[in-house]
Amino acid sequence: MRKTIARRLTESKQNVPHFYVTVDTDLDALLALREQINGAAAKDADGKPAYKISVNDMVIKAMAMALKKVPGANASWTDGGMLVHKVVDVGVAVSIPGGLITPVVRNADAKSLSTISNEMKDLAKRARDRKLKPEEYQGGTTSVSNLGMFGVKDFAAIINPPHATILAVGAGIQQPVVRGGEIKIATVMSVTLSTDHRVVDGALGAELLQAFKGYIEKPMAMLV
């Protein structure tokens, strides 16, 4: 596994012209909505909720909807030219003993947050148990890598070809921000988009990140 990871990442850094764009996002509205949604989850006879949505589940959904809104960034570079994907399949980096694997949430833009949440829990568990089928971790049109749970503020991820983008997600950190000329405390999450500059240049990458930021800061739009 380490040999495969080493080979693929070395090829990516050698052959893919990486370009990086970073934005800060205000998480407070998303955290409030997440609490509401989880609080409304139906419970079974044992009191177990039907779902428990994480911030990462909402990041996956926001990234998928942003790519649907900016379809030019949902593409891959091939020897024959640009390949623009009709679907949005989001690979999610999962750490497992001895390495890393990226199970894929298919058609993530069209799935509900609860569906994404339950699907990710199942995929992550079977990834750690080494029970994923090849079609469950191959392909995809983009990736998300989240190190926020480890307290990492920001980082830049290496693109996983044939994807043209990968989103690196940092921790939500409470810090002072200026709103309307006043200093207030907000939960801020820094995200860095790595792009294949042959496919997604700076302006298009910035447009994609602005769309992502819009869904994170106005998360009700993800429920429509």
Reply yes or no on whether the pLDDT at 34 is more than 90: yes
The per-residue pLDDT for range 134-144, each reduced to its tens digit, is: 999 999 999 99
Reply yes or no on whether the pLDDT at 45 is more than 90: no
φ/ψ region of 206 (left if φ > 0, alpha if ψ in -120 to 50, else beta) reads alpha
Reply yes or no on whether the pLDDT at 146 is more than 90: yes
Reply yes or no on whether the pLDDT at 154 is more than 90: yes
Reply yes or no on whether the pLDDT at 167 is more than 90: yes
Give the domain ranges of the chain. Answer: 2-29+56-219
Across all residues in the chain, what is the average pLDDT? 95
pLDDT at 98: 83
Residues assigned a catalytic role: 197
pTM: 0.95
Q: How confident is the model at residue 1 (pLDDT cuts 50, 70, 90)?
A: confident
The per-residue pLDDT for range 190-200, each reduced to its tens digit, is: 999 999 999 99
Q: Is 121 exposed, middle or buried (0-12, 13-18, 19+ CB in 10 A)?
A: middle
Closest CA to 154 of 175, 176, 174, 173: 173
pLDDT at 81: 86
CATH for 2-29+56-219 is 3.30.559.10
pLDDT at 224: 81
Q: Which DSSP category does 181 fall into?
A: T
Query: Is the backbone peptide bond immediately before 162 cis, with ω within 30 degrees of 0?
Result: yes
- Both structure tokens of 155: 């980082």
**Whole-angstrom Cα distance, residue 140 to residue 158?**
15
Provide CB contacts within 8 A for 22, sequence distance 6+: 154, 190, 191, 192, 193
Instruction: Kindly list the distances between the CA atom of residue 58 and the CA atoms of 116, 183, 190, 216, in Å, as whole numbers in the listed order.
Output: 9, 27, 15, 8
pLDDT at 62: 98
pLDDT at 16: 95
